[in-house]
Amino acid sequence: MALHDQPLLTTVYENVEDFLPGEGSIYIFGTSVEQRSAHSSEWEARAVNIEFVRIVEQTNSHFVAVIGSSKMQVSLRNRSQLEAFWVAASGGSCFLDITGLSHHIWAPLLRFGLEFATSLTVTYVEPGEYRFSPAPTENEIFDLSEAIEGIAPIPGFAKLREQRLEQVCLVPLLGFEGTRFAYMVEQVQPPGENIVPVIGVPGFRPEYPFYSFHGNRLALTDNHAWKNVRFAIANCPFSLFYLLDDIAAENEHKLLKVAPIGTKPHALGAVMYALARDHVELIYDYPIRKAKRTEGTARLLAYHVSDFMQD
């Protein structure tokens, strides 16, 4: 697959303020400690006839959302509750802002949103800057995570059948944190030739792919996985989707265990792929994020997910 300079099926807004949801739509979002996840009251006031649904609590088992004047608690592993959320929230055209939501929250929401929303667009705000570590090591250039809670499937995306190690292909979608990649390899323990890392190229910034290689150098070298590195545009979920199809074709009869530990757009592509294919499992390490891990905001990207998934 040839690389392109721009993401596919995506509307790019150079400034967050340039974007507004369409009139009459639903906008679902949550906020985190990062500045880029927060919307100003002035921005919301400019949005005409939009219903804002705010997710105010995120845990490993449930989330709490404010819909209108009421709160709804939704279990991430309860299909009927997830369906009830979308019945209460959706009325047609929906936007799901994943910037301030953890993977294990927005991925189940996306699964059911594609069923219940007439049109679903996913939005994401790129960070202005990542915070460098005050004491950088070879594995940790940036100061992003405090700890890892432990590896587990993302809710709704587990595969029940057992797989022998030689029948598993681990596809880590790499970011800057080499310790997370090393942890995934240690837990899954696939043969080195069955590790196919993916790095975002082009990156959000030109230098970011170099940081990814540097931050993951030890794990890439120890397992000789550097020989298998593949590339997909860092902010394009659709490029990652097509790349996973290529990797699957090269690893026929193997279960792809995709670890979304890099960019959130790549994680979105992995989730879409898991919804469309039956030979993939999403595994996640549930990192505890540090406060002020990023500063500022950059571009806002609107991904036309339902258009892509309906093709």
The residues, ordered by sequence, that sit 6+ positions from 297 with a Cβ below 8 Å of its Cβ are 16, 35, 36, 125, 126, 127, 128
Helix (H) or strand (E) holding 258: strand 255-260
Question: Is the CB of residue 142 less than 8 Å from the CB of residue 133?
Answer: yes
Question: Which two structure tokens, joined as six digits, stand for 220?
Answer: 């890439």
| This prediction's pTM | 0.89
Model confidence band, residue 4 (pLDDT cutoffs 50, 70, 90)? very low
Phi, then psi, of 22 in degrees rounded to 5: -65, 150
Residue 111 has pLDDT above 80, yes or no: yes
Residue labelled with tokens 């339902």: 306
| Residue 160 confidence (pLDDT) | 64
One-character DSSP codes across 21-42: PPTT-EEEEE--SSGGG---HH
Match 């790499």 to its residue by tokens: 174
Q: Can you give the pLDDT at residue 258?
A: 95
Q: Are strands 62-67 and 70-75 parallel, antiparallel or unpaired?
A: antiparallel
Q: What is the pLDDT of residues 179-196, one digit of tens each?
A: 899 999 999 888 888 999
pLDDT tens digits, 7-62: 678 999 998 888 999 888 999 999 776 666 777 667 788 888 899 999 999 998 99
